[in-house]
A and B are shown apart, each in its own frame.
Chain A
Amino acid sequence: MEYAIIIIAAIFVNNVVLAQFLGICPFIGVSGKISTSVGMGGAVLFVMTLATVVTWLAQHYILVPLGITFLQTITFILVIAALVQMVEIILKKVSPALYGALGVFLPLITTNCAVLGVAILTIQKDFNLMEGVVFAISTALGFTLAMVIFAGIREHLDNMEVPKGMAGVPIALVTAGILALAFMGFTGLV
């Protein structure tokens, strides 16, 4: 039951992009087409889950016992950066097909603040390892959901006659605002 609450809260109520404003750069940047946004979502799901596990272990088995939790930010970002590099190298060797699908998005993920954000939130919310993993997976699913819906809308937007001054990013942001308005309907669900 507790897991169900974490899942619904992370996907709909506190959607990572539309309610918490994490991962806006890829949300605006690579949401031109549905296929690329699915690829980005897959890469984020993969890295976010791994990063949460590794940073959770680092926090509880290295930083806390040594009493150096003030090094959290610096440790986490290095762990994530190293992890992304490692995933890239391993994928290239082990599964070229998967690398072909996710490869282009991997370098972009280091600076995706959603990954670091979720790692820190997992610690702040005092989740155990299993809850952290569930939280990371459902946050990534929420990210993918928002990306795919947004990409679908933007594909249609391309064929519309948008006022000149609003074309491009401004209209995309206003659209995201309306989408966020729709997601606010989920408030109070849990």
Chain B
Amino acid sequence: MSQMKNFTKGFIKENPVFVLLLGMCPTLGVTTSALNGLGMGLATTFVLIGSNMVVSAVKDFIPDKVRIPSYIVIIATFVTIVELVMQAYLPALYNQLGLFIPLIVVNCIVLGRAEAFASKNSVGASIIDGLGMGLGFAFALTLLGSVRELLGSGALFNFKFMESDGMLVFVLAPGAFIVLGYLIAIISRLNKKNA
């Protein structure tokens, strides 16, 4: 039961983007389309699972004073793996996401989960926590990307179903801020109702 809770809390109740307001830079930067959002979300999920797993496995061997730098090295290792794999097999997506792939290192969600969860829990629970949080992040990015793509170019996952071009501003920088603002307001309203 508690494993299930670890997994599902990332979606709505403790959603890293909409509720905890972490990882805003990639959230705003890459969500010009649903597909980009999903790709970034899955890349971050992989890093989260990997770093959570390793951090919880080695937590007893790391002296308390150097734990943050050690976590950063572990995270950076997984980010480098993602970077190289993406470059080799998904070059188009890699070019689209560009700078934001290496920047997963400084995504507060990853370090935050390592410090707040993985350093205190077992390997199994940490993997599930990473999976849940990562998918919650991916869900938020895909949702934001879908809304922006739909309003901005009348398409969804590159599948066009509106004749007109839509309001370009939603694909550009200002649209990111505005759509995210409204989404956060809606989600917090939903959370209040459930509570």
Residues of A within 8 A of B (CB): 18-25, 28, 70-74, 76-78, 81, 110-113, 116-117, 120-121, 124, 165-166, 169-174, 176-178, 180-181, 184
B106-A181 in contact (CB<8A): no
Question: Quick check: is B157 within 8 A (CB to CB) of the other chain?
Answer: no
Does B108 reach chain A (CB closer than 8 Å)?
yes
Contact A78 B73 (CB under 8 A): yes
Which residues 115-167 in B have Cβ within 8 Å of A in the complex?
Answer: none
- Does the CB pair A184–B180 fall under 8 Å? no
**Are A174 and B177 within 8 A (Cβ)?**
yes
Chain A residues touching B, majority SS: helix
Question: Is B62 part of the binding interface, using a Cβ–Cβ cutoff of 8 Å?
Answer: no
In the complex, whether B6 has a CB less than 8 A from a CB of chain A is no
14 pairs, A vs B, C-beta closer than 8 Å: A25-B24, A25-B108, A70-B80, A70-B84, A73-B76, A73-B79, A74-B73, A111-B106, A111-B108, A113-B25, A116-B103, A120-B103, A165-B188, A177-B176
Given A120-B103, A177-B178; 6 other pairs, CB 8 A cutoff: A21-B24, A117-B99, A120-B99, A120-B102, A169-B181, A177-B174
Complex Cα–Cα for A5 and B21 (A): 35
Using CB atoms, name the residue of chain B closest to A187.
B172
A121 with B99, Cβ < 8 A, contacts A21-B29, A165-B189, A166-B185 known: yes
Least Cβ–Cβ distance between B68 and chain A, in angstroms = 8
CA distance A169 to B185 in the complex (A): 8
Which 3 pairs, one residue from A and one from B, show the smallest C-beta to C-beta distance? A173-B181, A177-B177, A21-B29
A169 touches B21 (CB 8 A): yes
**B28 touches A (CB below 8 Å):** yes
Which of A28, A72, A74, A110 counts the most chain B CB atoms within 10 A? A74
* CB–CB B106/A113 < 8 A: yes
